Amino acid sequence: MFRTIFNRLNYLFSRNLSSDKEFRKVLSRNLRILQSSLNISIKNPTFYITALTHSSFLDLHPELPESNERLEYLGDSVLSMVTGNYLFAKYPNEEEGFLTKSRSLLVNRERLAVAAEGIGLQNIILYNQKYLRDSLEGMQTILSDALEAVIGAIYLDQGLKVVEKVIVNCLIKPLEYDDSFLTDTNYKGQLLELAHYRKLSPPRYLIKEEDGPPHNKKFTIEVFVGEDLMGVGMGKNKKSAEQEASRLALEKFNARN
């Protein structure tokens, strides 16, 4: 099986995709790892090379045909359909609003990044490290986008039945014994909805403090609703600090009821 992949790569590179033998070995290793993790037999390695290629990597290897952005688009559509079918069958008595929100929670960036790590994508994605600048949020985006691109590659290479099995095993099965994925952790969105419902002004977020070196920042952010300070959150980036401040604000609102 692995020899077949290597032979196909040799054919691919014989068409002047790259003359770098070491790079060829890296790609061959990455495909072997991916094939083993997904328990599939790769037919067309080009799909998967593209799926694992972040756009920033093209600066280093412009001879590669394209980045994974188009496959990400396709994979997102396939993922939406498969998870939609799963939720439709699991919750036969729920209405459209519940199903839509549940699908959004099931395939959000954080959960996709965790699933991507579960199959080892963080070790085989091709990207320019300068793009990240030690950003945890940036790595989550690269991982989640790559997983969607890999899903798109599997769909093209293996068909719907196989990609559905991969999605269930990698993303849905780890959560199917409980409803933990239904927990909405977008506290910032919840706070905005609550303020709108109570006819209050939208929440305002202000940076109170920013400490630490560039590779290990720590943000402290305050959230105001009207003139009232409702929460103070801390995090390694602005987004996580805003989410924590929003969570505390929601707790304060609930305590008033």
Q: Which residue did the predictor score with more confidence, 35 or 134? A: 35
The C-alpha atoms of residue 210 and residue 235 are separated, in whole angstroms, by: 10
* pLDDT of 177 higher than 70: no
pTM of the entire predicted model: 0.69
Instruction: For residue 126, give the DSSP letter.
Output: B
Q: Which of 18-22, 99-103, 190-194 shows the lowest per-residue confidence on average (mean pLDDT)? A: 18-22
pLDDT value, residue 37:
92
Q: Please, which pLDDT band fits residue 21 given cuts at 50, 70 and 90?
A: confident
Which residue of the set 72, 76, 145, 164 is catalytic? 76
- pLDDT tens digits along 45-65: 999 999 999 998 888 888 777
* pLDDT of 175 higher than 80: no
Q: Is 69 a catalytic residue?
A: no
Q: Please, which pLDDT band fits residue 188 given cuts at 50, 70 and 90?
A: confident
* pLDDT of 193 higher than 50: yes
| HSE (side-chain half, CA atoms, 13 Å) at 52 | 25
Domains by residue range for the chain, with CATH: 2-182 (1.10.1520.10), 187-256 (3.30.160.20)
Which residue of the set 148, 222, 242, 244 is catalytic? 148
Q: What is the CA radius of gyration of the chain?
A: 22
The C-alpha atoms of residue 133 and residue 128 are separated, in whole angstroms, by: 10
Q: Which of 80-84, 221-225, 239-243 shows the lowest per-residue confidence on average (mean pLDDT)? A: 239-243
Query: In the chain, how long is the greatest CA-to-CA distance?
Result: 70
Are residues 216 and 201 in contact, defined by beta-carbon separation less than 8 angstroms?
A: no
Q: Is 222 a catalytic residue?
A: no
Region 75-94: mean pLDDT is 93
Mean pLDDT of the chain: 84
Helices within 57-182 (DSSP H only): 69-90, 96-106, 109-118, 129-132, 136-158, 160-167
Are residues 140 and 57 in contact, defined by beta-carbon separation less than 8 angstroms?
A: no
Are residues 141 and 109 in contact, defined by beta-carbon separation less than 8 angstroms?
A: yes
Q: Which residue did the predictor score with more confidence, 133 or 70? A: 70
pLDDT value, residue 137:
72
pLDDT value, residue 233:
92
Task: Say how many Å lie between the first and final Cα of the chain, rounded.
Answer: 63
